Amino acid sequence: MNTLTVDLGDRSYPIVLGNTADWIELLCEKLSGRTALIITDENVDAAGHLEKLEKALAANNYTDFQSLILPPGEEHKSLATVEFIAKAAVAAKLDRKSCMIALSGGVVGDLTGFAAAIYMRGIEFIQLPTTLLAAVDSSVGGKTGADLPEGKNLIGAFHQPQMVALDTDTLSTLPETEYRNGLAEVVKYGMIMDKDFFALLQNNTEKLNSFDPGFYAKIIIRSCECKAGVVAGDEREQGSRAILNYGHTVGHAVEKLSNFALPHGRAVAIGMAAAVRLAVLMDLCSKDVEALQNQLLTELKLPTRLPENSDVDAIVQAMKSDKKNSSGGITMVLPTAVGEVKIVKGVDEELLKTALKGVL
């Protein structure tokens, strides 16, 4: 079992990695004397993970909970679902001392965190991620929210969980495409802040491609260490936390232009390829950095080129309307070396277009 702490003063919390038996006692300790609502989705339930958790809680004499199973998918990441969760919380008699528990990927995690942030003006919640993406990214850091028809994550709140715990066995039922989505974020950590981690990934692509659980435990903990460090330094994204957006400025734009048919991780991989291309054009880094990054992405079966027939002007337009660029001008995270990035404001649009054409 591995444990690390997200260091946020009196809102610090542990991230625990292992299997359910390793952390169930700690979870029951946190829930002791309180009611809880477990929120999951149909796929996670069908894979048997809800039943496993419920049995483990009961075996540890904690029975004061109810479970809510949501339909899966980003299309349900809406305010209507937040209301649905809140109503289920009322029905389950959750009070101000109660706790919500998210057992699923990023969608349920974000919704549950947001529902917890506003239910009775805020109750505690716990994240039990079951996807690689949620384990290495969305479950840590306290960003919660829902989508509006006008855009993704347009409403939300910063609300830190009380604990994050992962049973690595749950990943064994995860579809391959979901693994690869998470891997894009893992490569991102190597690129933005940890060249040794990047090298570890480079040297172990076979293990990554065969989804070796032991090796995954190792890369998840390292990724969480990276994310926890960044979040502790800048909880509300006033400055340095923005480095986590590497690959996401172009990524979000292509995701949106595909009407979200392009999965997030693949969009981020393309976004990283575009960002490193721009960095080379701006003389911020050498072509070697680009080659190393793109080779790793390719070995992990992630794309490094824009979808066919992409409209470069439309991508730039979509980037400008991103909520993170509200002050006008485009801000991007660009690599200066493997393991190092720089936040660049007011990116030259013509050069950006040239970079995008370079990854067409």
Contact residues for ligand ADP (CB under 6 A)?
41, 43-44, 47, 49, 72-74, 104-108, 130-131, 133-134, 138, 170, 173-174, 178, 181
122-125-128 Cα angle (round to 5): 160
Q: How far is the CB of 72 from ligand ADP (least distance, A)?
A: 4
Tokens 């990276």, residue located: 226
Amino acid symbol at 36:
A
Which residue lies nearer to ligand ADP by CB, 72 or 335? 72
Q: Which listed residue (159, 180, 227, 266) is catalytic? A: 227
Q: In terms of DSSP bridges, do strands 340-344 and 332-337 run parallel, antiparallel, or are they unpaired? A: antiparallel
Select 183 or 272, whichever has its Cβ closest to ligand ADP.
183
For ligand ADP, the closer of residues 183 and 347 by Cβ is 183
* Least separation in angstroms between CB 338 and ligand ADP: 25
Distance from C-alpha of 338 to C-alpha of 75, rounded to nearest angstrom: 36
185 is catalytic: yes
295 Cβ neighbours under 8 A, 6+ residues apart: none
User: Would you call 49 a catalytic residue per the annotation?
Assistant: no
Distance CA 173, CA 170 (A): 6
φ and ψ at residue 348, rounded to 5 degrees? -65, 120
In angstroms, the CA 73 to CA 270 distance is 22
252 catalytic residue (yes or no): yes
Known active-site residue 227? yes
Shortest CB 45 distance to ligand ADP, Å: 9
**Per-residue tokens: 300:** 């992990």
**Per annotation, catalytic residue among 42, 54, 74, 237:** 237
When the beta carbons of 159 and 277 are compared against ligand ADP, the nearer one is: 159
Contact 293, 335 (CB under 8 A): yes
- Rounded least distance, CB 40 to ligand ADP, Å: 9
Among 43, 181, 245, 294, the one annotated catalytic: 245
What is the set of active-site residues?
A: 121, 143, 185, 227, 237, 241, 245, 248, 252, 264
